[in-house]
Chains A and B, each alone.
Chain A
Amino acid sequence: MTDLTRRTFIEAAGGVTALGTLGFPSLVLGATRRVVVIGGGVGGCTAAKYLRKLDPAISVTLIESKPTYTSCFMSNEVLSGERTLDTLVFSYDGLRRYGVEVVQDTVVGVDPVAKNVQTAGGNSFGYDACIVSPGVGFKWDAIAGYGEQIANESIPHAWYAGPQTQLLRDQIEAMPEGGHVIIVAPPNPFKCPPGPYERASQIAMYCKHHKPRAKVSILDAKDAFSKQGLYTEGWTKLYGYGTDDSMIQWVSAAEGGAVEELDASTRTLIGLVEDFQADVINIIPPQKAGAIAFAADLVEGDWCPVDKRTFESSRHKGIYVLGDASSASRMPKSAYAANSQAKVAVAAIVAGFHDRAPDDPTFVNTCYSVVGEDFGISVAAVYSLDAATNMIEPIPGSGGVSPANASPEIRKREVSYAHSWFKNVINDMME
């Protein structure tokens, strides 16, 4: 017994069986169950991996149009030069090692009656359960004069990380010494609520060292934003916020921050009250569920309603909608939320395959923002389902944001933990 590990001993003692670490393979039921996952972001990848982890007898196909995954989280650090875009790019090979079949193709439709998924490549994939995790799409017509082509060429949204992130970084580097960057922040709800404000912070961190006379303005469609108190504290400490010399300005909707139109040729934003001209403009458009969700008839209004116990669509049985595209109040549209929702959906799908009712769900969200050098902040929440209202509610007394006026040591640790969060989310979704 000399080389027994703790685990093998506990297994021998029956501990693991009681814990139910793994489900019973579906093979005992006869036919192999097939799950098709649409979308290779956090929700889709996590679901694919955990399906195979919980029940290796399930056949899992993940369909994604891009050859690799590029994470949006941490992409603001590309804008400050803290990291390069290639550090955000990850292969789907990790999922393949779990036995997931990864198909590079674009889904054009889902037939919820025949239970199959059609692709632009002309293929059809039958399923017993289908997971749709398409992320967000943009309401291009919300700001007159803005559109997809302009976003790709000159006024990036960079709200999906990729070439537009690099374009925005290049523009910030190339702008004059006393240049002006404007970020147009969207109305609620949108993907990554603290993201526009971390973006302003990261750009200011770069400018502080390289273009100290530059200004970063946020024109907001809202009068309040995520982690606002902590951002204000960090900006005051790091970027002179609140003084005439502040590197960052935030213009709320009430102060005229809502933008109606873009004149791309002069880089001018036309607001309700006044116009704003800048050297670099980043427009984060208002958002809705990704295109696949509309094609599959899963949307009501802008988002996809789901049974929050399982994340099964309220519109079509057998289809589960995860992450940003789902209507999952009160969870934010975040990577961690999508990761957490994926595990709930997977547990429900596996339970269903074994004719068991789904367990009570549990959800967590954590999200870090790096406001500047040695200044990290976070928000956390643990949620349970209120079945009566179909609302995912934070457990009373728990969660919340980092404390105000925390010690420099705690703020510094949260930067370190932010980077660790990034690595572990990637690990848990696809490695």
Chain B
Amino acid sequence: MKNNQSVIAATAVPIGLSARLHILSLAIIAMLVLAPAWVCAGPSGQAMSFTCAGCHGTDGSSVGPSMPAIAGMDPEVFVDAMKAYREDKRNATIMNRIAKAYTDEQFQEMAWFFASQRLRLFPQPYDTVLAERGAELHDDYCEKCHEQGGRPGDAGTLAGQWMPYLHFTMEDFLNGKRKWPRKMQRKVDAAIEEAGDDAIPALINYYGSQQ
């Protein structure tokens, strides 16, 4: 019986001053972008977001093993991702077909719904040796943008993210199927230079180990 899998809630994580200021600004933007939603007809942000749950889990906390969690996701990252899918700029399986159904405003409404959800993390198997190596690589090459071990932030959610999804994503970056964010290619190249073929699996196992 698979349904008895224990649910481990993410512990509250201290966040730095810059992150707090960022969230404050996001909260203000939220109020601004939400204002028109009250007068517009059409489905609510909540109703649209509920339709995602069959793949991304209730309120965006995917139970895996490969569809990514989107609860607690930075709203700008969410909107950017959905626009990229809608415009066929990201190597997609299904999300490009789904994203084409929504307007920018609807992306924003869903973004705010998911940003306000608590990310629940679930255990997934990982290699402890690789994860330890990955922690070192993360500190050296990734932490500057993916703060606090890759907790949800303006560079996406890596900590506790489902490992097959991270694997697909890195595969797309490395095969030229997804455009690198600024500086990322240089950092990933440096990590690979240091740790060779283990670099990417080590990083993915590190993120997967954060449960």
Contact = CB atoms under 8 A, between A and B. Distances in A.
Contact of A94 (B3, B44, B51, B72): B3
B190 interface: no
A358 B125 CA distance: 43
B116 A344 contact: no
Interface residues of B, number: 60
B15 interface: yes
B63 interface: yes
A11 to B, nearest CB: 8
B15 A420 contact: no
Nearest to B117: A7
Given A20-B44, A380-B98, A427-B63, A336 B54 contact: yes
Contacts of B2: 87, 90, 423, 426
Interface in B40-80: 41-48, 50-58, 62-67, 72
Nearest to A418: B66
B23 interface: yes
Interface string A1-40: 1111111111101111011110000000000000000000
Residue of B15, B50, B52, B102 with most chain A CB atoms under a 10 A cut-off: B50
Contact of B65 (A90, A397, A409, A419): A419
A410 B93 CA distance: 6
Nearest to B5: A431
Given A343-B51, A366-B55, 18 more contacts: A1-B20, A2-B14, A2-B15, A5-B12, A10-B27, A13-B28, A15-B27, A18-B31, A53-B58, A339-B53, A361-B47, A378-B93, A399-B100, A413-B66, A413-B93, A420-B62, A424-B67, A430-B3
A363 interface: yes
A389 B3 CA distance: 41
A402 interface: yes
A402 B14 CA distance: 42
Interface residues of A, number: 69
Interface string B123-156: 0000000000000000000000000000010000
Given A9-B20, A18-B31, A420 B66 contact: yes
A82 B168 CA distance: 23
B84 interface: no
Contact of A360 (B43, B118, B164): B43
Contact of B57 (A16, A395, A428): A428
Secondary structure of the A contact surface, majority rule: helix
B33 to A, nearest CB: 10
B170 interface: no
Interface in A61-116: 86-87, 89-91, 93-94
A340 B51 contact: yes
Contacts of A335: 54
B24 interface: yes
Q: Which 6 A-B pairs have the closest CB atoms?
A: A382-B101, A398-B101, A362-B43, A13-B27, A364-B51, A398-B100
A400 interface: yes
15 contacts: A2-B15, A6-B115, A7-B117, A10-B30, A18-B30, A19-B34, A339-B53, A340-B51, A359-B43, A362-B43, A362-B51, A366-B54, A382-B101, A399-B97, A424-B63
